[in-house]
Chains A and B, each alone.
Chain A
Amino acid sequence: MKFETAIAPHLLPVNRVDWVMAKVLLALLPGIIALTVYFGVGVWVNIVIAVITALVLEAVLLKWRGLPVVPALKDLSAMVTAVLLAISLPVIAPWWLVLLGTAFAIVIAKHLYGGLGYNPFNPAMMGYVFLLVSFPVPMTAWIAPTPVAGFDWTVLEQVAFNLGLGLPEQVQFDAITLATPLDRLKTEIALGHPISAIQNAPVFGYISGKGWEWVALGYLLGGCWLLWQKVIGWQIPLGLMLGLALPAGLGYLLDSEQFANPGFHLAAGATMLGAFFIATDPVTAATSSKGRLFYGALIGLLTYLIRTFGGYPDAIAFSVILANLCVPTIDYLTRPRVFGQRS
């Protein structure tokens, strides 16, 4: 009997890109639910706009580049980029902001660099930074979390606002926005106020900010599930958290009225999202185990420095992009010792 031949290994592969991506999306759910509970349904409007934009542009670009469209869309990578960007943006971001950021992420940061696997910079963070430097006002307008919001509006009214149809009559724009804990801390410290006094403001919660700490917990939970599922390794999240918490701890010990404690830094802003979902983007991260630890630590350190001494309240996006630049060098310097060779 005759047979077709093939090359070893013959064993079925045990993993698939689309499963990996699907698991990442699933793991984001607890954080997104916390966002919804504390900041409203706007996050879902952002997600829908971003995903549609990403899929359409991904298809158009693939077609334009003469690449197969359907298999690439099915790998869900464009969707992950879109969702990561959407949940990083202010919940009440106008629709065009989401659309523009996603377009930048997919077209410029992903496909102009060669598409999935070739882009040196995290596309979602490139989209975020592009928006932050181009449209600082809407990018820093965060809605007040539910427990401290002095207004009430329906789901439909929220969706309508995100879509640019204006606010309901009884609500003023200034009334719904509130500086984020990180933002507030930065401004107040600059004014010379001690942290113990600053943290009495209603926006602060148990660890970081009201609502924010629950969102962080949600991402932490999802991240732990990804670790358990072996979708991500422990090196980047741990490196990032240590890189942030160690200098924060040092600062806190030196002057607890000037420098926020490490717990605050870990639970505030995008730390958890960054540690488990953004810095762990395999395409743009370092690849060796040791390298990933350094890479994560670098992001953590840069985040602390920018948050504390820089011009922006949060810094995950900038730090990730700066660390992306260092990846080839990190990888080269952390090559493992090959079996049977001298170190």
Chain B
Amino acid sequence: MTMKSPVMEGSKLREEAHQIFDWVKSFAKGAEIEIGLGTNINEGLRFGNNELSQSQYSRRRALSVRVVTNKRQARATTGLLAKNEVEKTVQKALSQARAGPEDPDLLPMLGPQKYQTVERYYSRTAEAPAEQKAGWIGHAIDMAKKNGLLASGILETNVDHYWMLNSAGLETSYKGTQGYYSLTMDADNGNQTGYALSTFVDLRELDANEVADTALERAKLNKNQGDIKPGKYDVVIDPQAWSEMLFFLIVSAAAGYTPDFGTRQYKEGRSYLSGRLGEKIMGDNISIDDDAYHPLQTGAAFDGEGYPKSKLPLIENGVLKSLASSRISAHRYPDAKPTGHELPLPNPLGEIPNNLVIRAKGSVKKSAEELVKELDRGLLITRLWYIREVEPRTKTVTGMTRDGTFLVEKGEIVKPVKNVRYNQSLLDLFSKVEATSEPVRNLGRFGETTMVQPGVLARDFNFTSVSPF
């Protein structure tokens, strides 16, 4: 059978966006308008218990309309793109805007901008046949069966295309592909388990056999786990293991799950970073950028109102150097300049950096295995799980290890141990990093923030209790 090619749909998107923009303009009758038209094609082959359990295909479109009228604004979003439905959507946005209070931060729509190009669309990914992906999964299942294990996981691809226009003449677009292969091999109700993950933008980046080899190797090692006492241990954290942990560095539960690294949050005092610009908050071997142009990054080169993203040194040699900013912040605060980190407007939460890149001294070309060789005594962690904020000032988080925690002595894995809970300050962790491995791309929590991060060797990780398995 044939399906509409996502590439064909992409080439039509500009035309559709302009047609809809003209409709919206006529329905909005003089109000300022911004539209974003997006399509997503998601394909996922999901498997469990050595069976292909869920084969999914999803095709979605969304039109989002922002209207500004009489110092008020609102947004309405719909998946229905017929002219009469677009009119309804515009009327909803207009009626909400008219009923709302004046927005104290409202600015005129952003005019035309110049953008740096990012190439993140690969037809190899968009058009990969299900049979090819099923073949890779079949290989993993065969390996699991041969070793008395059960394979489970997903191989997922996404094709996104987005077009943005506004009444001040701004026009920009993004087209990209991305995906990931996540694999667990386990037995004995997960008492023996190994895990591997690989992300890709170009399907050619994926070495499916290596993913299977890694999961199998770890599952073979992670059997008959020994006891371990809670306490402080030096650790090697695998680069794929800890993207969710980093998410809690930039978002505060204390402030109702609002982002931390934005100028508005900083100035309003609701960020844990407030008042700390210029302060050393991490070790001097740690630098963290927000860099949408990094070769391992994903997503568009513009923010929620179409402003071009800047590369931003958030942490430089451990010092809080700069904040994510926006036109609103620049309007509110004389010392702020827009950096392209606004969320789609109206946005009362503040700015967020969502292209994080950890740059650590000495990380070039070193593998995670080489970090283990540098560990005198401690734990190798291959996956962290269910992380939540415990204390906002020090960014202490709790969570569990899963799918492989190993005792290391004199650079060698000695034995697997039971899963452990930790209560660990992230600022303390980033102050005690002794060595790092080559960074990898992790698609972040809920797919919203992509993190480029190395594996780390860090001192004194604080484990507080042990699971029965």
A is bound by B: no
Please give the residue numbers on chain A whose beta carbons come within 8 Å of chain B beta carbons, in ascending order: none
Please give the residue numbers on chain B whose beta carbons come within 8 Å of chain A beta carbons, in ascending order: none
